[in-house]
Amino acid sequence: MSEFISAQDVSFAYDPEEGQAPRNVLEGVSMRIRRGEFVALLGHNGCGKSTMAKLFNAMLLPTGGKVFVDGMDTVDEAVLYEIRRRVGLVLQNPDNQLVASVVEEDVAFGPENLGVPPEEIRRRVDEALKAVEMYDFRLNAPYKLSGGQKQRVAIAGIIAMQPDCIVLDEPTAMLDPRGRSEVLRTIHRLNREQGITIVLITHYMDEAVQADRVIVMDDGNVLTEGTPREVFSQVELLKKHQLDVPQATELTYRLRGMGFPMPCTLNEEECVEALAAYLPPVQAG
């Protein structure tokens, strides 16, 4: 897989408040996002995940180092809108991302900004709404939708710009379990069927487990990265940095600590399988 976003030794500081020295939020972070992969970005509160997301689509520019999107430097003003089109950013609160009072008009907002011809916008809007399974709601008012539905409309608004990559900053943080699974199913399908690169920032470990690759950040640095199994098998390291691991992993980890030789498990099924090996077989009858 070729490289799509590459952050090279990026540092970043927000404009300091008056009389204070600027404080680096990111200090020399390097990471790569490959085309078509599903990456989960983890880290405790305030470690710079959202900042990283905004650097990916040129909402913020690095104070040191470089960010390239498909070979384009994000500081190059000439390609600013091309970068924002290719890397769509979905934010946490779905209420504050929807612009229009009709669903389909909101989805049309992005393509309208790009100057796409009207018939083409119509086609894209219908396609995008079908892709997130919200086509039947196209004439509804956003405020009458559930949180999960709103967030799917927000995703459709990004898809209508035909991006190569969608970065989602805690898209499920304000949703109930049902809305959460709707949104997750949608982004996994977009990744699988349309080959859209996904960067998912989350605090839910069960969401991270389903990614192709996990990157863990800690106070402006990359702590570790790898497949979910590689990352979550380092339970001590994660714990030391106040990070959770999936519950199944936690359980087998503790049992291992009590002297049961157990593999590292990532989800309920694996965990059940590992536990079953220790239980006496059930007597039939």
Partner 1 sequence: MIGDIAFGQFIPGKSPLHRMDPRVKIVLIFLFIVFLFVAQNFVALALPVLAALAAIFLSGVPLRQYLKSVKAVIFIVLFTSVLNLFYGGGQTLLKLGFMEIKSGGVSNAIFIAVRILTLILLSAVLTFTTSPNSLTDAIERLMKPLKVFHVKVHEIAMIMTIALRFVPTLLEETDKIMSAQKARGADLESGGLVQRAKALLPILIPLFVSSFRRAYDLAMAMECRCYHGGEGRTKMKVLHAGKGDAAACAVSCLLCAAVIVCNILLPGSLT
Instruction: Decide whether 85 or 180 has the Cβ nearer to partner 1.
Output: 85
Q: Which does residue 162 bind out of Mg ion, ligand ATP, partner 1, none, counting CB within 5 to 8 angstroms by kind?
A: none
Q: What distance in Å separates the CA atoms of residue 135 and residue 148, rounded to the nearest whole number?
A: 14
- What amino acid occupies position 109? F
Footprint of ligand ATP on 43-82 (CB under 6 A)? 43, 45-51
The vertex-43 CA angle with 164 and 249, nearest 5°, equals 100
Q: Residue 192 phi/psi, 5° resolution?
A: -75, -50
Amino acid identity of 200?
L
Are 231 and 168 in contact by the 8 Å Cβ rule? The answer is: no
Name which of partner 1, ligand ATP, Mg ion, none residue 95 binds, using a CB cut-off of 5 to 8 Å depending on partner kind. partner 1
Q: How far is CA 126 from CA 13, 87, 183, 214, 222, in A?
A: 41, 21, 18, 33, 39
Q: Which amino acid is at 243?
A: L
Task: For the CB of residue 10, give the shortest distance to Mg ion in the complex, in Å.
Answer: 17
Decide whether 110 or 179 has the Cβ nearer to partner 1.
110
Q: Is 114 in the site for partner 1 (CB under 8 A)?
A: yes
Name the one range near Mg ion by CB under 5 A: 1-9, 42-50, 148-156, 269-277.
42-50
Q: Give the C-alpha separation, 179 to 201, whole Å.
A: 17
Taking contact as CB under 5 A, which single stretch among the options 47-55, 120-128, 191-199, 244-252 is the one that binds Mg ion?
A: 47-55
d(Cα 263, Cα 237) in Å, to the nearest integer?
17
Write out the binding residues for ligand ATP, residues 111-140 only, by CB under 6 A: none
Return d(Cα 9, Cα 26) in angstroms, integer.
9
**Smaller CB distance to ligand ATP: residue 41 or 264?**
41
Bridge partner list, 67: 7
Is residue 231 involved in binding partner 1 (CB under 8 A)? no
- Contact map string, positions 49 to 78, toward Mg ion, x by CB under 5 A: -x----------------------------
Q: Nearer to ligand ATP by C-beta: 108 or 243?
A: 243
Interacting residue with partner 1 among 41, 55, 91, 190 (CB under 8 A): 91
Rounded to the nearest whole angstrom, what is the least distance from the CB of residue 198 to ligand ATP in the complex? 17
**H/E run at residue 1:** none
Residue numbers 25-64 binding partner 1 by CB under 8 A: 57, 59
Beta strands in the chain (DSSP E): 3-13, 24-34, 38-42, 64-69, 72-73, 87-90, 165-169, 197-201, 213-218, 221-226
Question: Is residue 112 at the binding interface for partner 1, with CB under 8 A as the rule?
Answer: yes
Residues written for the chain: 285
Which of 59/237 has CB closer to ligand ATP? 59
Q: Interface with ligand ATP by CB under 6 A: which residues?
A: 14, 25, 43, 45-51
Contacts with Mg ion by CB under 5 A lie at 50
Residues at the interface with partner 1 (CB under 8 A): 57, 59, 81, 84-85, 88-89, 91, 93, 95-102, 104-105, 108-118, 121-122, 125, 141-143, 154, 157-158, 161
